[in-house]
Amino acid sequence: MLLAIKGATIMPVSSNPVAEATLLVENGKVKALGPSSKLAVPAEATVIDATGKYVLPGLVDAHAHVGLWSEHYGQANADGNEGSNPLTPEVRALDAVWLEHSSFADARAGGVTTLQTTPGSGNAIGGEMLVIKTDTVGKMVEDIVLRTPSGMKAALGENVKRYYGQSLKKAPMTRMGTAALIRQAFYKALDYQRKLEIGQADPAKQPDTDLGLIELLRVLRREMPLRIHAHRADDIVTAVRLAEEFDIDYSIEHCTDGVAVADFLGSRGARVNLGPTFGHRSKIETRALHFRNAALLAEAGCKVSIITDHPFVSIDYLILCAALSCAEGMPEDQALRAITLTPAETCGVADRVGSLDPGKDADFVIWSAHPFKIRSRPEQVFIEGRLVHKAE
């Protein structure tokens, strides 16, 4: 099966845009791309004329709750926070993603083809997240998984202490309490590691299975990062403190006040999943929210992905978040990278998605105009060479 998209301006993200270009797709993968004048289209190819349009990789959102959140389904689908214990590393978003959720159709309509969907921030440690494609129709979650687990969710700041401390009168009640719980959990995992090793030498001493500690050990072995919800600058610094104490891989989720500690983050080349920014400052820890933050954090040396945090910004408005970040100073190529290749790298799936390079999945979007024009629409959206959305 050979597909040729002809005549568009192709923006591969990994390299410079090519005008009047052709994209060749074979068996769900990018085969080649280049100027139409130089790239021959085999006779057997199905040709789509995209003259005057823009072709970009499918968008990637590194932090969303697509398929997990209640939204218009109400309590029946409120599966984002296992709020029964502040430490639930054993839970897996994989077990809750509902493929019929309307947010998947919205993702496709907005040109989002890959996303990391994650437990919420109600718990200090919230559980495993995963990276999936958005072509859900007629599929099981296993069919669309790109990487699972792709990270362990943790959270600092207001949410955890509000839910447990304020509402339930339980620990954690303060920022100190939240950090202490996370720290204790990792030391417990290290103890568990020691006992496992003893158990290997002497099977009689084998400790009981602890699913949560097994997951935390995977974080400690850097098989997946800890992805830490932190808005306020002091919470961000606490996140780094914890990660460095245990020498684990991490990303900062939201990072609303990150500009206040931009050099601290930049000197570490920190991965920042920034957003949601198209919304109001609903709590004190989000007071620094501004679209200029993307440019400032990137300039400081952070690896910035722009996120919707769907449903907090609806997943179909990921492009809007990048465009407004561009309006506030982020160069266009960086803003596009922040919703494609950078999140693919952050999610550990850049070998498959995030840019249009030969050998990568043929996940791409034909936009009616430059995607930073507000009248531009994702006219046709492809995942692995298959049309998954066509605008009316």
Partner 1 sequence: MLVIRGGRILTAAAPGSDVPDVIDGGVLLVEGGKIVAVGGPELPVPDGADIIDASGCVVTPGFIDAHSHIGIYEDGLGWEGTDANECTDPNTAEARALDGINPADTAFAEALEGGVTTVQVGPGSGNVIGGEMLAIKCVGTIADEMVLRHATGLKAALGENPKRVYGSQNKSPATRMGNAAVLRSALAKARDYRRKMEAAAESPDKQPDRDLRQEMIVKVLRREMPLRVHAHRADDILTAIRIAEEFEIDISIEHCTEGHKVVETLAAKGIPCAIGPSVYGRSKQETRDRGAHTAGVLAKAGVKVALICDHPIIPQQWLRIAGGVAIREGLSDEDALLACTRNAAEMTGILDRVGTLEPGKDADLVIWDGDPFEYLSKTRCVLVNGTVVRCLCGTPCRSSSGQGGCC
Report 66-85 residues binding partner 1 (CB under 8 A).
71-74
Residue type, 298: A
Provide the mask over 327-356, with x wherever binding to partner 1 is found by CB under 8 A and - wherever it is not.
x-----------------------------
Report residue 97 as tokens.
Answer: 């993603």
* Residues contacting residue 247 through CB under 8 Å, at least 6 positions apart: none
Residue choice 314, 340, 346, 355 for contact with partner 1 (CB under 8 A): 314
Stretch of 1-9, 47-55, 116-124, 315-323 lying at the interface with partner 1 (CB under 8 A): 315-323
**SS3 assignment, position 83:** coil
Q: Counting contacts by CB under 8 A, is residue 156 touching partner 1? A: no
Closer residue to partner 1 (CB): 9 or 22? 9
CB of 284 to partner 1, least distance (A): 6
DSSP three-state, residue 361: strand
Burial of 80 (0-12, 13-18, 19+ CB in 10 A): buried
Task: Tell me if 175 contacts partner 1 by CB under 8 A.
Answer: no
Using the rule CB under 8 A, is 374 a contact of partner 1? yes
279 belongs to the binding site for partner 1 (CB under 8 A):
yes
Applying CB under 8 A, which of residues 324, 344, 350, 356 lies at the interface with partner 1? 324
d(CA 268, CA 246): 16
* Residue 12: partners with Cβ closer than 8 Å, 6 or more residues away: 18, 33, 57, 355, 356, 357
Among 221, 241, 373, 390, binds partner 1 (CB under 8 A): 373
Instruction: Work out whether 283 is an interface residue with partner 1 (CB under 8 A).
Output: yes
CB 148 within 8 A of CB 142: no
Contact region for partner 1 (CB under 8 A) — 12-20, 85-93, 214-222, 281-289? 281-289
Of positions 32, 165, 171, 278, contacts partner 1 by CB under 8 A: 278
* Residue 257 binds to partner 1 (criterion: CB under 8 A): no
**Among 15, 27, 46, 102, which residue sits at the site for partner 1 (rule: CB under 8 A)?**
102
Binding test (CB under 8 A) with partner 1, winner from 106, 128, 135, 379: 106
CB atoms within 10 A of CB 92: 18
The residue written with tokens 């907090």 in the block is: 312
- The H or E element containing residue 213 is helix 211-220
Residue number with CB closer to partner 1 (230 or 324): 324
Nearest to 155 by CA among 183, 176, 178: 178
Neighbours of 333 (CB within 10 A): 13
The site for partner 1, by CB under 8 A, has a size of 33
Which residues have a Cβ under 8 Å from the Cβ of 336 and sit 6 or more positions away? Answer: 11, 13, 56, 322, 371
CA distance 313 to 307: 9
CB of 318 to partner 1, least distance (A): 12
Amino acid at 145: V
Q: Does 320 bind partner 1 (CB under 8 A)?
A: yes
Closest to partner 1 by CB, 72 or 169 = 72
Binding residues (CB under 8 A) for partner 1: these are 71-74, 102-103, 106, 278-284, 286-287, 310-311, 313-315, 317, 320, 323-324, 326-327, 372-377
